[in-house]
Amino acid sequence: MTQMVAHGVEGVRALPLGTPFGPGSPVEITADMVGQFADLTDDHQWIHVDAERSKRESPFGGPIAHGFLTLALIPRMMPELLTFSGFAMTVNYGCDRVRFPAPVPVGSRVRATAAVNSVTDIPNGLQVSVEMTIAVEGAQKPSCVAVTLIRHYSKRP
């Protein structure tokens, strides 16, 4: 796996657009992780936290991670794939699009890939659109596809 490093405005502008890179290292999705996320978000839906019931009644054959837990892994996974330096400040500006095409079973391992979609000028900096794809190892469909927006400022906005 090769990490892309972009230093400063010229480094960001030189990133290859649309070229996927990765995958990053696997992250195991544990029942403890899902339980902690359920507690933090107060989302204790049985398909996530009730192993016995989810084995009996869900179409997934067992408990699955929350989609938003999978999305929340992006800050953990992206730096291994793509890092930025040479800016006064970098902020997460949000997401343009997020989809959860396939479940993430508890006990599975997920890996991420990334592709830079665009680089746009903004006052005092750049906005970078990065498509992050998170997939369960061995799965045919990804579990999360999110277009994230990252703003890099050369000086305070």
Residue 40 φ then ψ, to 5°? -65, -35
Which residues, in sequence order, are CB contacts of 37 under 8 Å at separation 6+? 43, 65, 66, 68, 69, 72
Strands 27-28 and 144-153: unpaired
Rounded to whole angstroms, the Cα distance separating 81 from 111 reads 11
For 27-39, give one letter per residue: b (16+ CB within 10 A) or e: bebeeebbeebbe
Q: According to the model, what pLDDT value does residue 50 have?
A: 97
Q: According to the model, what pLDDT value does residue 47 have?
A: 97
pTM above 0.85, yes or no: yes
| pLDDT tens, the chain, 157 aa long | 568 889 999 999 999 999 999 999 999 999 999 999 999 999 999 999 999 999 999 999 999 999 999 999 999 999 999 999 999 999 999 999 999 999 999 999 999 999 999 999 999 999 999 999 999 999 999 999 999 999 999 977 6
| Contact in structure between 79 and 45 (CB atoms under 8 Å) | no
What CATH number did the domain enclosing 132 receive? 3.10.129.10
Q: According to the model, what pLDDT value does residue 155 have?
A: 78
Q: According to the model, what pLDDT value does residue 4 have?
A: 85
Domain holding 147, by residue range, is: 4-153
Residue 103 preceded by cis peptide, ω within 30: no
What's 88's DSSP letter? S
- At position 32, the amino acid (one-letter code) is D
Q: According to the model, what pLDDT value does residue 42 have?
A: 98
Bridge partners of 128, per DSSP, are 119, 150
Number of H helices, E strands in the chain: 6, 7
What's 105's DSSP letter? B
Give the number of domains in the chain: 1
